């Protein structure tokens, strides 16, 4: 059996090496390392794939979130509501811009931001909500957009984990995650569903004026060479990374299907077990793209299971072990533990198993048997 990895980028590369190498070679041959034709091509291809008017490539997903907030003109003291159960980048940029992060609890069934908790957290100072499409499944965007309209709020989707996922509205229409709010941000970190071979990110919007503002901000606030109209940053997607993404974007749907297939094989093995709650998803839909395959372990020794798997050479991880409201950098006297029952529960229950595009049946069987052997 091939060695099991949490994310097996090498095996994936082996299947696409000739295409990726040729794409990178083109950059080397043309010597356009910054803002080369590869970046423009990627921008166009991604706009088409997502069905969004504007893609603004940038240096990484954290920058994408920050630039989105800058572009919306959020001001120090403005309150921005986001999920307590996510990667720290989401709250980090809010704090960095001297906006006021307001962390709220998530829902047990999909681990995404709770609509009820958002409603309770909205104040006259609230200016934006940042839903995170955690582990590859879109948050309840329909309810979030309704709140945005009612309270005149901006919605910034953190789509770092859900590129390619579709969100289905009650009327049956579908939109790609990240393109529903006023602005979406994503990451092309190597292990993400669409990953390059270094850092990369992008911002999406259907708003022409906002897109124009964002294109200036990523480039030192310049709209005309050496005219700096707004305070900007230097945040670029390299041509070499764009070349990698040009080779991989046509494979994204196939990659997401491979992840969903692995998830369905895991689910089949674990379904009905009293100590395991599996992530529910609709095989015929495309709402969940499994950036992570995350189980909840109920009334059993989650940490013991983790050690058992590691001892057998099976990598696994706890995403995320500490709620953001308990992190030193983000504690706030306004928070009460009773406000976060779900996050506080999830950090004790969750375990993420290997998930990538190259998992094979033999590996999945070994992993599921090892989990079941421990939980009996």
Ligand X SMILES: *Cc1c(COP(=O)(O)O)cnc(C)c1O
Residues 153-192 that bind ligand X (CB under 6 A): 158, 160-161, 187, 189
Angle at 374 between CA 369 and CA 376, to 5 degrees: 85
Element (DSSP H or E) covering residue 103: strand 100-104
Question: Helix crossing, 9-30 with 37-50: angle to 10°?
Answer: 130
Tell whether residue 89 is a contact of ligand X (CB under 6 A).
Answer: yes
Give me the count of residues in the chain: 376
**Which residue number, 49 or 189, has a Cβ lying nearer to ligand X?**
189
Residue whose CB is nearest to ligand X in the complex, by number: 61
The tokens for 340 are 């976060």
Within residues 238-277, the interface with ligand X by CB under 6 A covers: none
CA dihedral of residues 248, 250, 255, 257 (deg, nearest 10): 170
Tell me: does residue 62 bind ligand X (CB under 6 A).
yes
Nearer CB in complex with ligand X: 205/292: 292
Query: To the nearest whole angstrom, how small is the minimum distance from the Cβ of residue 291 to ligand X?
Result: 7
Helix (H) or strand (E) holding 247: helix 239-248
Q: Is 196 in the site for ligand X (CB under 6 A)?
A: no
Question: Residues 288-327: x/- map of binding to ligand X (CB under 6 A)?
Answer: ----------------------------------------
Q: Does 61 bind ligand X (CB under 6 A)?
A: yes
Of the candidates 12, 60, 267, 370, which one interacts with ligand X according to CB under 6 A? 60
Cβ contacts of residue 223 below 8 Å, gap of 6+?
A: 212, 215, 216, 229
Give the whole-angstrom CA distance, residue 89 versus residue 282.
29
Q: Least Å distance between CB 117 and ligand X?
A: 18
Q: Is 201 in the site for ligand X (CB under 6 A)?
A: yes
**Is there a contact between 156 and 133 (Cβ–Cβ < 8 Å)?**
no
Nearer to ligand X, 233 or 300 (CB): 233
User: Measured from the CB of residue 26, what is the shortest distance to ligand X in angstroms?
Assistant: 24
- Which parts of 4-23 interact with ligand X (CB under 6 A)? none
C-alpha atoms less than 13 angstroms from C-alpha of 99 in its C-beta half-sphere: 28
Sign of CA dihedral 186, 189, 193, 197: positive
- Give the CA count within 13 Å in the CB-facing half-sphere of 59: 12
For ligand X, the closer CB: 132 or 305? 132
Could you tell me the smallest distance in angstroms from the CB atom of residue 199 to ligand X?
6
Which residue, among 102, 33, 92, has the nearest Cα to 63 in the 3D structure? 92
| Contact (CB, 8 A) for 296 and 267 | no
Number of residues that bind ligand X (CB under 6 A): 15
Comparing CB distances to ligand X, the nearer of 60 and 241 is 60
CB-nearer residue toward ligand X: 59 or 121: 59
If the CB atoms of residues 158 and 238 are measured against ligand X, the closer one turns out to be 158
Q: String of b and e for 308-337 (b: at least 16 CB within 10 Å)? A: bbeeeebebbbbbeebbbbeeebeeeebee
Q: Which region among 87-95, 106-114, 142-150, 359-367 touches ligand X (by CB under 6 A)?
A: 87-95
Closer residue to ligand X (CB): 191 or 303:
191
Q: Which of 86, 112, 114, 294 binds ligand X (CB under 6 A)?
A: 86
Interface with ligand X (CB under 6 A): 60-62, 86-87, 89-90, 132, 158, 160-161, 187, 189, 199, 201
């Amino acid at each position: 059996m091939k060695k099991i990895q949490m994310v097996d980028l090498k095996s994936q590369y082996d299947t696409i090496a000739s295409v990726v190498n040729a794409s990178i070679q083109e950059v080397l041959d043309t010597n356009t390392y910054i803002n080369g034709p590869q970046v423009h091509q990627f921008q166009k291809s991604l706009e088409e794939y997502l069905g969004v008017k504007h893609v603004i490539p940038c240096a990484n997903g954290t920058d994408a979130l920050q630039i989105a907030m800058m572009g919306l003109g959020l001001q120090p003291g403005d309150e921005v509501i986001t999920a307590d159960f996510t990667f720290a980048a989401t709250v980090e940029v809010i704090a960095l811009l001297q906006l006021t992060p307001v962390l709220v609890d998530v829902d047990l069934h999909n681990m995404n931001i709770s609509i009820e908790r958002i409603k309770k957290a909205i104040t006259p100072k609230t200016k934006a909500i940042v839903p995170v499409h955690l582990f590859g499944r879109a948050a309840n965007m329909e309810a979030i957009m309704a709140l945005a309209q009612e309270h005149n709020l901006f919605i910034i989707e953190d789509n770092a984990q859900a590129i390619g996922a579709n969100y289905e509205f009650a009327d049956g229409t579908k939109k790609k995650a990240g393109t529903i709010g006023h602005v979406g941000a994503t990451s092309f970190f190597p292990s993400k569903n669409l990953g390059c071979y270094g850092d990369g990110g992008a911002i999406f919007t259907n708003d022409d004026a906002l897109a124009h503002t964002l294109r200036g901000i990523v480039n030192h606030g310049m709209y005309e060479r050496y005219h700096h109209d707004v305070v900007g940053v230097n945040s670029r997607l390299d041509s070499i990374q764009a070349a990698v993404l040009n080779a991989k974007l046509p494979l994204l749907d196939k990659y997401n299907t491979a992840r969903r297939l692995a998830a369905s094989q895991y689910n089949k093995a674990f379904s009905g077990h009293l100590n395991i709650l599996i992530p529910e998803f609709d095989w015929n839909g495309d709402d969940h793209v499994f950036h992570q395959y995350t189980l909840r372990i109920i009334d059993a020794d989650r940490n013991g299971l983790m050690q058992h798997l590691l001892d057998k050479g099976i990598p696994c991880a706890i995403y995320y072990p500490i709620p953001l409201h308990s992190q030193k950098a983000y504690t706030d006297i306004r928070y009460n533990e009773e406000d976060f029952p779900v996050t506080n529960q999830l950090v004790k229950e969750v375990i993420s198993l290997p998930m990538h595009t190259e998992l094979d049946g033999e590996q999945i069987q070994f992993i599921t048997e090892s989990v079941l052997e421990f939980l009996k």
